[in-house]
Amino acid sequence: MSTFQAPKGTYDLLPPNSATYLAVREAISAPLKNSGYGYVETPGFEAVELFARGVGESTDIVTKEMYAFETKGGDKLALRPEGTASVLRAALEANLHKAGNLPVKLWYSGSYYRYERPQKGRYRHFSQVGAEAIGAEDPALDAELIILADQAYRSLGLRNFRILLNSLGDKECRPVYRAALQEFLRGLDLDEETLRRAEINPLRVLDDKRADVQKQLTGAPSMPDYLCDACTAYHKEVRELLDAAGVVYEDDAKLVRGLDYYTRTTFEFVHDGLGSQSAVGGGGRYDGLSEMIGGPSLPSVGWALGVDRTVLALEAEGVDLELPATTSVFAVPLGEEARRVLFGKVTELRKAGIATDFSYGGKGLKGAMKNANRSGARFTLVAGERDLADGVVQLKDMESGEQGPVALDAVLETLKAKLG
């Protein structure tokens, strides 16, 4: 055992469990790749101010959870707590919005960091796959992203998740609702910190998970009652497009999400098998974020789905993913000449796309076959001096136990046929 351990609230991904995480990332990204979204990768840290402006100074993320630090050169940086602000910053810096083909559609995958109280489903280091459609105000984009996330989860075999949907209005109707909500909150018995938050961004209070706060919110003004005609029509079209696509959702007037930049459409994917950490992903429209970080007006929409939470949801439903075999063939040499010849065959098989491993370290037949079993290999190639003298190797089917000689120059074609 090492002297060192993973930092509190983090985890290591190791085989065989890491294969499930890879499969989840692939399943979430597959519909995006098929719908015009290109891959983007951003640094693991950014200027603190990017998140303070974009995510919101009133959010727990900025006030309590960011890993912020100052470099030797005096730069104030933070490990990224979420992906949208970074992706939008990268798109603006590269002038992707000036290429004339809007929206710019991007997807990403990576690790994010928040200093939170560690518990199951909530870590200080977590993995997400996200998607952003930048530069277009269109209900069809909002619907598209919700549909693609729904498609990704269903392709994994998940069924017991729900989609919560709301509209947060825009710069026309949101201030009216904000004022009404602030007036209501001032009359409640709230602690100083919550009252301070209510003055900065009262919608954040609606997202407060404490039972004593939620109890007092009964009768609070509801955002749908304050939507202007344009936002009402926009939200109606999003819902109609989801209905036409057969995507089931639930209206939730209290849904605000945990970030300040959302406008109009906001949504969350929740799974009731995960206890208090029920959100597996979510997102929404953020039409003013580009201006907040110094860019032009670029109405946009996006989401992020948690890989960790999705894996927990699969476990809660008892879904076992069909994972590709890491090793199809395992080669076992008996002697130095066999080692040279079989290593050449291993290289040949790998070039042909056949997952192949080799018995390293000069193990005897018994130890090598144990390794072959552990690898999950479908076939083993075994060769000794007598086999090589006859120009053959022994091919063993690890499922049936059948074994027979195969000519050295026919190994590749024989295995291709047997593996399909």
Domain of 361, CATH number, reads: 3.40.50.800
What is the pTM for the complete model shown? 0.90
Residue 391 labeled ligand binder: no
The pLDDT value recorded for residue 258 is 59
Among residues 285, 317, 349, the one where a domain terminates is: 317
Distance CA(195)–CA(213), nearest Å, equals 11
Other beta carbons less than 10 A from residue 278's beta carbon: 17
- Taking Cα atoms as reference points, which of 143, 137, 163 lies closest to residue 244? 143
- CA distances for 111 relative to 60, 104, 128, angstroms: 19, 23, 7
Last residue of a domain, one of 291, 317, 343: 317
83 in a labelled binding site: yes
pLDDT at 382: 96
Chain segment 352-406, per-residue pLDDT in tens: 999 999 999 888 889 989 999 998 999 999 999 999 999 999 999 999 999 999 9
Residues 30 and 148: their CA atoms lie apart, in Å, by 9
Whether residues 152 and 102 fall in one domain: yes
DSSP 27-88: HHHHHHHTTTPEE----SEEEHHHHHHHT-TTSHIIIII--EEE-TT--EEEE-S-SHHHHH
- The answer on 141 and 75 residing in a single domain is yes
More confident residue, 204 or 25: 25
* Residue 409: CB atoms within 10 Å: 9
Are β-strands 279-285 and 104-113 bridged in parallel, bridged antiparallel, or unpaired? Answer: unpaired
The confidence score (pLDDT) of residue 259 equals 65
- Are the C-beta atoms of residues 238 and 166 closer than 8 Å to each other? no
Share of the chain above pLDDT 90, in %: 73
Task: Count CB atoms within 10 A of the CB of residue 268.
Answer: 23
Question: Quick one: 335 and 372 in the same domain?
Answer: yes
Out of 32-46, 191-205, 392-406, least confident range: 191-205
Is residue 114 marked as binding? yes
Give domain status of residue 199, yes or no. no
pLDDT of residue 201: 79
- pLDDT range class, residue 219, cuts 50, 70, 90: confident
Would the annotation count 262 as a binding residue? Answer: yes
CA atoms within 13 A on the CB side of 193: 7
Tokens describing residue 20? 């499930």
Domain presence at residue 222: no
Query: Between 130 and 2, whose confidence is greater?
Result: 130
pLDDT value for 75: 95
Q: Clarify whether residues 271 and 343 are in a common domain.
A: no
123 annotated to bind ligand: no
Sign of CA dihedral 243, 246, 250, 252: negative
Burial zone of 351 (CB within 10 Å; 0-12 exposed, 13-18 middle, 19+ buried): exposed
2 lies in some domain: no
- Decide if pLDDT at 187 tops 80: yes
Q: Say if 207 falls within a structural domain.
A: no
How many domains in the chain? 2
Q: How far apart are CA 1 and CA 228, in angstroms?
A: 62
Range of the domain at 401: 329-419
Shared domain check, 78 and 142: yes
> Residue 218: what pLDDT?
87
pLDDT tens digit string along 85-131?
Answer: 999 999 999 999 998 889 999 999 999 999 988 887 788 999 999 99
Residue at 3 is within a domain: no
Same domain, 297 and 163: yes
84 marked as binding residue: yes
| pLDDT band at residue 1 under the 50/70/90 scheme | low
Residue 201 lies in a domain: no
pLDDT at 136: 96
Greatest alpha-carbon pair distance for the chain in Å reads 92
Q: Are 269 and 409 within one domain?
A: no
Assign 104 to helix, strand or coil.
strand
Residue 349: what residue type?
L
Q: Check the annotation: does 249 bind a ligand.
A: no
Q: Which residues share a beta bridge with 165?
A: 251, 267
Confidence of residue 207 (pLDDT cuts 50, 70, 90): confident
Residues 333, 313 share a domain: no
The predicted pLDDT at position 2 comes to: 74
d(Cα 32, Cα 38) in Å, to the nearest integer?
A: 8
| 216 in a labelled binding site | no
In a domain, 217, yes or no: no
Q: Is the pLDDT of residue 36 over 80?
A: yes
Token digits for 115?
A: 């200093």
Q: How confident is the model at residue 291 (pLDDT cuts 50, 70, 90)?
A: very high
Report yes or no on 10 lying in a domain.
no
Q: Are residues 308 and 377 in the same domain?
A: no
The mean per-residue pLDDT over the stretch 251-262 comes to 79
| Residue 261 marked ligand-binding | yes
* Residue located via tokens 């009262």: 202
Q: Are residues 80 and 153 in the same domain?
A: yes
Specify the pLDDT at position 202.
85
